[in-house]
Amino acid sequence: MPFEKLLKELKDRRDKALAMGGPEKIAKRKNEGLLNARERIDYLFDKGSFVEYGQLATSARPEMRHKTPADGKIGGFGTINGRHAGTIVNDFTVLGASSALINSKKIRHVKDIANKRGCPMIYLGESSGSRMPDRMGALGRTIICQDPTEYRRLREAPWVSALLGACYGSSTWYACMSDFCVMRKGATMAVASSRVTSIAINQPVDKEDLGGWKLLTSVSGLVDYAVDTDEEALDVIKKFLSYLPSNNMEAPPTAPVPKGSDEAIKKILDIVPEERSKTYDMKKVIEAIADIDSVFEIKPRYGKAVVTALTRIDGQVVGVIGNNPKFKGGSLDPDACKKIINALVMFDSYNIPIVMLVDVPGFLIGIEGERKGAPGHIMNWMNALTLVTVPKINIILRKAYGQAYINMGGGKNSDENAVWPSADVGFMDPQVGVKVLHGIEKDDDPAEFEKRAKEIEQDSGAWGLAELYEVHEVLDPRETRQYLIDRLAIHRQRLSGGIGEHHLRTWPTSFV
């Protein structure tokens, strides 16, 4: 048969690449309950849709070529629910998926195609970092710094990362540049491994303390979600991408409205107490307003005084930002500020209208907040808000005091402003205002205290705002869902085909 010898060699080389690091390493992963790199691809993409790039690539070093199938990183494109996405998947069974010359070329090629053709990029991280000795010395400098745009994000299309093992080097960098990051509990992410870090600082370092899921989801906020298994992480990625367009030149995808989605809002009065001093969970308010089972919260463990979420209202994707009185009374600390900025950047970059549900007593005042640069974060937030070009709708449920009223989209900072009858937009809580303005404590003279509190409160409620047309609507809380459906329909960006101006697309992906 013509080409018989060459075709046999092609098959042998393909089989070697598909065998990854060999049966022993693959079996070890299976025994640990972990998917290998190619199993992760099969689970993530629609069956039979994956097209691989560079399957026969190996190390640039001749003596290493026989033991570096695909050079430790698998790249290509497939479809997820019928929509194309690109991926780079680290194969830890091949030299710990370490970064080197050839696999870096592969990453660049797949990433460039995704950017040019408007496809999301998915990075499945598990990497030991740079491959030594490939990157050492003068010769190693010819590998790195060859692409000056390697770490530039213009948000042409969504980037998503999963941390599925030990993640150092490129797995860390791409996770920090992504729009969304999920990790499996037990995985770690840091600049360098706990062993290298321990040697560098000459003291023991626990890997969980260095870069475990609790730290990354609750303290640094670099990771959005933590789950128990590889499969759960990949499911979360699929769900996240279902809310986003394939690129920033498309409107977000629509979905059918589940039956019964108009029912939950009828019980909203049982969720939010009329008394402003009582707490509740803003997540339940969002669920009552949104289509059934459509709320996808972003960073649920971080900056808990605010809820940020992707959801659908009448089948249309919406980004929600809501103060949560359940935590810190809804007072905004630096973590909450950063979380909101992160949401604004994502929503605006991918043409997602924004709904702000406001119940905020102000910014959390104190020494700790000042040490974390609270004023800078507050102004970063305001800067981001003024750069947003997608529609913004603001609804004040109860409190909106001081500068926080402005930051949460009050006044001309939103396209539409509405309030519930329980709204109060004074400079501060009337009870606090009496103490500040008049120096009166409630226990000293209850009657005088209440008199002064009512004086402060009388001009800052819903009716005064409506009379001055500082808000466009006073809502029965049970009308909130229909109000949003109607107003979002009006503000749909017909002249631009649903596409914003993306002023925030170059905003830093991680900042302090």
pTM for the whole structure = 0.93
Query: Residue 379 and residue 374: Cα distance in Å, rounded?
Result: 9
Amino acid at 453: A
Average pLDDT of the residues in 8-13: 96
Beta pairing partners, 400: 360
What pLDDT is attached to residue 456? 63
Supply the DSSP symbol for 440. -
- Label residue 147 by pLDDT band (50, 70, 90): confident
Buried b (16+ CB within 10 A) or exposed e, 55-75: bebbbbeeeeeeebbbbbbbb
Residue 201 phi/psi, 5° resolution?
Answer: -105, 0
Query: Residue 326 and residue 285: Cα distance in Å, rounded?
Result: 12
**Mean pLDDT value across the chain:** 91
Give the count of alpha carbons within 13 A of 430, CB side only.
Answer: 20
Residue 156 phi/psi, 5° resolution?
Answer: -65, -35
Query: Residue 134 and residue 142: Cα distance in Å, rounded?
Result: 10
Q: How does pLDDT run across 296-332, given as a tens digit for each residue?
A: 999 999 999 999 999 999 999 999 999 999 999 999 9
What pLDDT is attached to residue 388? 97
Confidence check: pLDDT of 512 > 60:
no
What pLDDT is attached to residue 384? 96
Domain 264-426+461-491 class, CATH top level: alpha beta
Task: Give the residue from 266, 277, 179, 253 showing the smallest Cα distance to 223.
Answer: 179
Q: How does pLDDT run across 166-205, given as a tens digit for each residue?
A: 998 888 999 999 999 999 999 999 887 777 777 777 788 8
The residue that leads in pLDDT, 457 or 254, is 254
Q: How does pLDDT run across 365-422, given as a tens digit for each residue?
A: 788 889 888 899 999 999 999 999 999 999 999 999 989 999 999 999 999 999 999 9
- Label residue 1 by pLDDT band (50, 70, 90): confident
Average pLDDT of the residues in 506-511: 86
Run of H or E including 227: strand 225-227
Q: How does pLDDT run across 425-442, given as a tens digit for each residue?
A: 876 666 666 665 666 777
Spatial CB neighbours of 194, under 8 Å, sequence gap ≥ 6: 188, 205, 206, 207, 210
Domains 11-243 and 264-426+461-491 in one fold: yes
Query: Residue 465 and residue 346: Cα distance in Å, rounded?
Result: 31
Confidence check: pLDDT of 99 > 90:
no
Beta pairing partners, 73: 90
Confidence check: pLDDT of 494 > 90:
no
Of 3.10.20.30, 3.90.226.10, 3.30.560.10, 3.50.50.60, the CATH number of 11-243 is 3.90.226.10
Task: Give the residue from 87, 126, 379, 100 showing the smallest Cα distance to 237.
Answer: 87
Spatial CB neighbours of 279, under 8 Å, sequence gap ≥ 6: 273, 325, 326, 329
What pLDDT is attached to residue 43? 98
For 85, 113, 367, the CA distances from 180, given in Å and listed in that order, are 15, 20, 31
Q: Which residue has the tokens 């047309």?
A: 469
Confidence check: pLDDT of 511 > 70:
no
List the domain boundaries for the chain: 11-243, 264-426+461-491, 429-459
What pLDDT is attached to residue 368? 84
The residue that leads in pLDDT, 259 or 275, is 259
Beta pairing partners, 87: 76, 122
